Chains A and B, each alone.
Chain A
Amino acid sequence: MEMLSGGDMLIRSLADEGVDIMFGYPGGAALHIYDAIYRQDKVKHILVRHEQAATHAADAYARVTGKVGTVLVTSGPGATNAITGIATAFMDSIPMVVISGQVPSDKIGQDAFQETDMIGVSRPIVKHSFMVQNPADIPEIVKKAYYIAASGRPGPVVIDVPKDYTAPNETYEYNYPESVSMRSYNPVQKGHSGQIKKAVNAILAAKQPVIYIGGGAIHGDTPELVTKLIKTLGYPITSTLMGLGAYPSTDDQFIGMLGMHGTYEANTAMHKSDLIFCVGARFDDRVTNALDKFCPNAKIVHIDIDPASISKTIAADIPIVGPADSVLQQMLPLIEKGKDKVDQPALESWWKSINEWRQKHGLYTKNRFDDQSEMLKPQEVVQAVYKATKGEAIVATDVGQHQMFAAQYYLFDKPRKWVTSGGLGTMGFGIPAAMGAQMAFMDETVVCITGEGSVQMCIQELSTLKQYGLPIKIININNQALGMVKQWQDMNYDGRYSEILYEDSLPDFVKLAEAYGHVGMKVTKREELMGKLEECFAMKDRVVFMDIYVDPDEHVYPMQIPLESVGDMQLSKTERTA
């Protein structure tokens, strides 16, 4: 039997759990753990420049790989700096384990130097947390933490470790458990077969159906199963911001994203549908708009792994609790068998309407944006990036107008290519997220689509990118303003621009990139856009910061009208739905 200190057990447990990369930042309470890291080479540690970035990077690593992300921070300020990233992962159900150092056990509660009650502070934004009470428990706690983070509805788990429990002078028998079972935690493995039959009958009987998928559809085999289902039925499919890529965006049956900045055809189809089949989405307020006006004629079939997401805001007529992939697996043979029941003439006329909406106000109709204007438009920048990367890049974003344009105009045909903070909407997510994604896939093109506001919230990570040779491409859609806030001030506050401009304080991003040892390029004209982008993506092993100046007055449309239905939208500065 091997005897290890608490610190060595912790790192060894991570290695035995299969963790290859962790993102972190050292400090007093974590020093024994860092010493344990020094003694081994199985788990690679990436030294970020701010703990928030460690959490976003680990989060993105999880999003693109499907594995659990791992973070290590010290107590006090290290732990509190990690909070924004934990909350971001929590809102988007991302599996992550955050290990925080804590002051020595005998000092807890005494306002010791760098003491923060991490368990308390993180409580509302974690799936679960562990406070180590006895160093001998460390391997079992690690095993449980990874199991809880990854299973059921995934989410972040915190392990808070008092410093003395990681000290080198005391050792314990090390034994990493092969499996865990917890009497109080048994995620559902299969859907209820009676409910599934009912659901299949309702789906087959629909005349104006819409399949609505969300972040839950990214997991496991769900993308292939959803595709099979859609192809068998011939029904239209829409996705939330989080679900993009689970179904190929370039396929004709995909009617675009729904919700606040969803397409005209997706939102209109939702509103007029007689059946909504929701797979792994949660009817959140950025989708539903006013609850009392939500899809008045629709019967709702809802699959979710989390029972608390069912009938939370919108009552489900046929709820099914279970993992989306296993439920769809159960459903598909029944759908296959019953597919002749689909009312084809009704479906055809439904498609006819949808295609009319698409032609009338879709994202690719004329006049969605003016591509002859004097200034570049943000939409065409995203389209150009899409073209330059052949639609195959991993795209991380920040938050704002640029994020919505990216969601609308970068068409994802595969899952786990789209990395965005949907639920929390965290500015500052972009660069660290791109960093985490690049760390996971060194050979892929990773793009960070950002704005000059957001990018300054974690800009320090340019230094980490340099240290580890992570050649992400930063597309800064520079509208010289907090554009999304400006849009709201235009629309709801008569253009009173309160605190959204930087006057003349924006840095020279080209020089900034160069100061960090990267390549910077500035683009202001339409004629140079494509050429410079191609130049940028040809520099395979360099970080390139593209500072692209765009029209500061562009708005994101469509935009749902507050307090109205899903289908009520502002379509441009001058048009709205009837």
Chain B
Amino acid sequence: MNKRRRIISVLMENEPGALSRVVGLFSQRGYNIESLNVAPTEDDSLSRLTLTSVGDDLAIEQITKNLNKLIDVVKLVDLSEGSHIERELMMIKVRATGSMREEVKRSVDIFRGQIIDVTQSTYTIQLLGNSEKLSAFIDAVGETIVLEVVRTGVSGISRGEKILKL
């Protein structure tokens, strides 16, 4: 069966220990997590967690079933099953000296990023987009000048009127 990357979005009780149960499930059952982020929602009794994982249909089915079994998980959706929007924020610090300063700036413009901090020899750039775009940017500037990369991991939301809510 072919493997695909899925984005699973989870609403869970904002309780101590809830996050460790989700993360623990993945290591316990040998599922992979590519990225994970979690933050409170507009309802402060709930947090929303988004994780991406790569697997075939059977593996993903087991992941969603086991997540649903966790008592703290209230609701979840595999966003990749429908049309959705995904975004990830990256902050990247690159060495930028001499002619590279202009070149990097051009790439930042092409990728619609922003330079958010500058020193004589570095730029810190902020970039928003889907994960592929962020990776493409790193390729474009060239790994040799990259000093540090911070990515938030994917967040996602369904398109249209569909919502994940209680």
Residues of A that sit less than 8 Å from B by CB: 119-120, 123-124, 127-129, 131, 133, 148, 182-185, 306-308, 311-312, 315
- In the bound complex, residues from chain B placing their C-beta under 8 Å from that of A131 are 16-17
Contact B13 A133 (CB under 8 A): no
Which of the residues A124, A148, A185, A306 comes within 8 Å of B28, measured between beta carbons? A124
Q: Please, how many angstroms separate the alpha-carbon atoms of A323 and B17 in the complex?
A: 29
Q: Are A123 and B21 in contact (CB under 8 A)?
A: yes
In Å, the complex CA distance between A284 and B62 comes to 15
What A residues does B17 contact at CB under 8 A?
Answer: 119, 123, 129, 131
Task: Let me know if B150 is at the binding interface, CB within 8 A.
Answer: no
Interface assignment of B122: CB less than 8 Å from any CB of chain A = no
Chain B hits for A133, CB < 8 A: 16
Do the beta carbons of A308 and B24 come within 8 Å of each other?
no
Q: How far is the CB of B62 from chain A (nearest CB, A)?
A: 6
CA distance A315 to B62 in the complex (A): 12
Contact in complex: B71, A182 (CB < 8 Å): yes
Query: Which A residue sits closest to B74, measured CB to CB?
Result: A184
Q: Which residue of A lies closest to B166 (CB)?
A: A183
> What 1/0 flags go to B46-73 for Cβ under 8 Å of A?
0000000000001001100110110111
Complex interface: chain A residues within 8 A of B68 (CB) = 307-308
Q: In the complex, which residue of chain A has the Cβ closest to the Cβ of B24?
A: A123
Bound-state CA distance A182–B69 (Å) is 13
Tell me the complex Cα distance, A133–B14, Å: 14
From residue B112, how far is it (CB to closest CB) to chain A in Å? 40
B65 contacts A308, CB within 8 Å? yes
The CA-CA distance from A119 to B24 in the complex, in Å, is: 12
Q: How far is the CB of B89 from chain A (nearest CB, A)?
A: 29
Would you call B127 an interface residue if the criterion is a C-beta within 8 Å of the partner chain's C-beta atoms?
Answer: no
Complex Cα–Cα for A312 and B66 (A)? 11
CB pair A184–B73 under 8 Å, yes or no, is yes
Option from A119, A185, A311 in Cβ contact (under 8 Å) with B71: A185
Contact present for B62 and A308 (CB under 8 Å): yes
Question: Would you give the shortest CB distance from A140 to chain B, in whole angstroms?
Answer: 13
Within the complex, the shortest CB–CB distance from A135 to chain B, in Å, comes to 16
Residues from chain B with a CB closer than 8 A to the CB of A312 are: 62
A-B interface, 9 closest residue pairs, ranked by CB to CB distance from nearest: A308-B65, A184-B74, A128-B71, A124-B28, A307-B65, A308-B66, A185-B71, A123-B24, A308-B69
B12 proximal to A (CB < 8 A): yes
Q: Which residues of B contact A308 (CB under 8 A)?
A: 62, 65-66, 68-69
In whole angstroms, how far apart are the Cα atoms of A320 and B9 in the complex?
26
Closest residue of B by beta carbon distance from A321: B65
**Cβ–Cβ < 8 Å partners of A119 in chain B:** 17
Q: Contact partner of B20 among A123, A183, A185, A315, CB < 8 A?
A: A123
CB distance from B123 to the nearest CB of A (A): 40
Question: From A306, which residue of chain B is reached at the shortest CB distance?
Answer: B69
With CB as the reference atom, state the residue of chain B lying closest to A182: B71
Proximity string of chain B (68-109) to chain A, C-beta cutoff 8 Å, 1 when within and 0 when not: 110111100000000000000000000000000000000000
List A contacts of B61 (CB < 8 A): 311
Residue of B nearest to A157 (CB): B71
Question: In the complex, what residues of B have CB within 8 A of residue A127's CB?
Answer: 71
Distance A311 CA – B21 CA, assembled complex (angstroms): 23
Q: For A128, what are the chain B residues with a Cβ–Cβ distance below 8 Å?
A: 71
Cβ of B48 to closest chain A Cβ, rounded Å: 14
Shortest CB-to-CB span from B46 to chain A, Å, is 10
**Closest B residue by C-beta to A310:** B65
Given contacts A308-B62, A308-B66, A312-B62, 4 further A-B contacts (CB under 8 A): A123-B17, A182-B71, A183-B74, A306-B69
Interface pair A311/B58, CB less than 8 Å apart: yes
CB B160 to nearest CB in A, in angstroms, measures: 25
Determine if B69 and A184 form an interchain contact, defined as CB atoms under 8 angstroms apart: no
Kindly name the residue among B17, B61, B74, B166 whose own CB sees the greatest number of chain A CB atoms within 10 A: B17
Contact A184 B72 (CB under 8 A): yes
Chain B 33-49 interface mask (CB, 8 Å, partner A; 1/0) = 00000000000000000
- Nearest CB in chain A to that of B67: its residue: A308
Interface residues of B in 106-126 (CB under 8 A from A): none
Collect the chain B residues with CB atoms within 8 Å of residue A307's CB. 65, 68-69
B166 neighbours in A (Cβ, 8 Å): 183
Give chain A nearest CB distance to B41 CB in angstroms. 14
